[in-house]
């Protein structure tokens, strides 16, 4: 695959949002919506707007991630993503993933489609070369992984008891593979009825050597509101990054 065919990584704000819950059997139909502010170094730097729909057999999720506050004044960043897929026995299998990104320096569009859970890149365009970001993985070897939008949807939607703190999955963004996993044994209840679940985001393959050398494991914590109607809402995500501690707060 040539450099012009390789999907580019999502903007930083997207990775700050990563913390997850893989869904178990769900109601026949549901709608999830939310707005989340991203803070870094005490400053508001981004906004995440997410909408997801699920019925007994299908799901669709879309999000916009953009810079905000002082970061928006320095450089406008935008990331639009959409994912559609099947729901079988409570498990989510992507069928199509689309992204449209503008980092202020690079504009790109890409599409992945899935057959039998195996991704295939059907479209990619960018105004910049992929450079030295490492050799991309072969999508044909990435069966069973989630796309970034499906991961974001599952991470930010309301969760029921059996889903909370028990996530473990791998994700492929078009060139790189990573893993996210909670540590259910270390979950800590709060005095107000909230619940904080620790976990880690781990780079696995497809990353440049310098990236693997800088930081391979990114610890995070996901805090849920007290239960309401049998469900908990994600109210805060904290993750360690190369730039310090990032915090995602629900409005």
Domain-wise residue ranges, the chain:
3-250
Q: CA 100 to CA 81: how far, in whole Å?
A: 6
For the residues 179-193, what does the mean pLDDT come to? 93
Question: Mean pLDDT across the chain, nearest whole number?
Answer: 86
For the residues 33-62, what does the mean pLDDT come to? 94
Q: What is the pLDDT of residue 57?
A: 95
**DSSP at 18:** -
For the residues 205-214, what does the mean pLDDT come to? 90
Read off the pLDDT band of 171 (50, 70, 90).
very high
**pLDDT higher at 21 or 47:** 47
For the residues 221-250, what does the mean pLDDT come to? 92
* In the chain, % of residues over pLDDT 70: 84
Q: CA 52 to CA 72: how far, in whole Å?
A: 26
Query: Please, what sign has the CA dihedral across residues 65, 205, 131, 219?
Result: positive
pLDDT of residue 7 exceeding 60: no
pLDDT of residue 209 exceeding 50: yes
Q: 15-24, 63-72, 239-248: which range is least confident on average? A: 15-24
Q: 66-70, 178-182, 234-238: which range is least confident on average? A: 66-70
Q: What is the pLDDT of residue 70?
A: 66
Q: 40-49, 100-109, 111-120: which range is least confident on average? A: 100-109
Q: What is the pLDDT of residue 106?
A: 81
For the residues 119-138, what does the mean pLDDT come to? 80
* In the chain, % of residues over pLDDT 90: 64
Residues 185-220: b if buried by 16+ CB within 10 A, e if exposed: eebeeeeeebbbbbbbbebebbbeeebeeeeeebeb
pTM of the complete model: 0.83
φ, ψ for residue 65 (rounded to 5)? -120, 130
Q: Are 227 and 149 in contact (CB under 8 A)?
A: no
Read off the pLDDT band of 131 (50, 70, 90).
low
Q: What is the pLDDT of residue 73?
A: 56
């Amino acid at each position: 695959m040539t450099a012009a065919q390789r999907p580019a990584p999502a903007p930083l704000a997207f990775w700050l949002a990563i913390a997850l819950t893989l869904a178990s059997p769900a109601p026949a139909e549901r709608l999830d919506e939310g707005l989340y502010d991203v803070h870094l170094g005490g400053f508001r730097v981004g906004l995440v707007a997410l909408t997801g729909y699920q019925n007994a057999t299908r799901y669709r999720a879309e999000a916009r991630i953009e810079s905000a506050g002082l970061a928006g004044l320095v450089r406008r960043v935008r990331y639009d993503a959409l994912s559609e897929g099947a729901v079988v026995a409570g498990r989510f299998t992507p069928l199509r993933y689309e992204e449209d990104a503008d980092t202020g320096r690079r504009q790109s569009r890409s599409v992945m489609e899935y057959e039998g859970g195996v991704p295939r890149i059907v479209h990619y365009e960018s105004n910049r070369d992929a450079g030295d970001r490492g050799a991309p993985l072969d999508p044909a070897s990435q069966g069973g992984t989630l796309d970034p939008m499906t991961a974001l949807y599952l991470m930010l939607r309301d969760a029921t008891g059996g889903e909370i703190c028990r996530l473990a999955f791998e994700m492929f963004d078009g060139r790189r593979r990573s893993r996210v996993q909670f540590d259910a044994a270390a979950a800590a209840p709060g005095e107000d009825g909230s619940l904080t679940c620790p976990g880690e985001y781990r780079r696995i393959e497809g990353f440049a050597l310098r990236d693997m050398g800088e930081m391979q494991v990114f610890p995070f914590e996901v805090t849920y509101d007290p239960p309401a109607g049998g469900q908990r809402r994600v109210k805060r995500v904290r993750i360690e990054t190369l730039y310090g501690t990032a915090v995602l707060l629900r409005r």
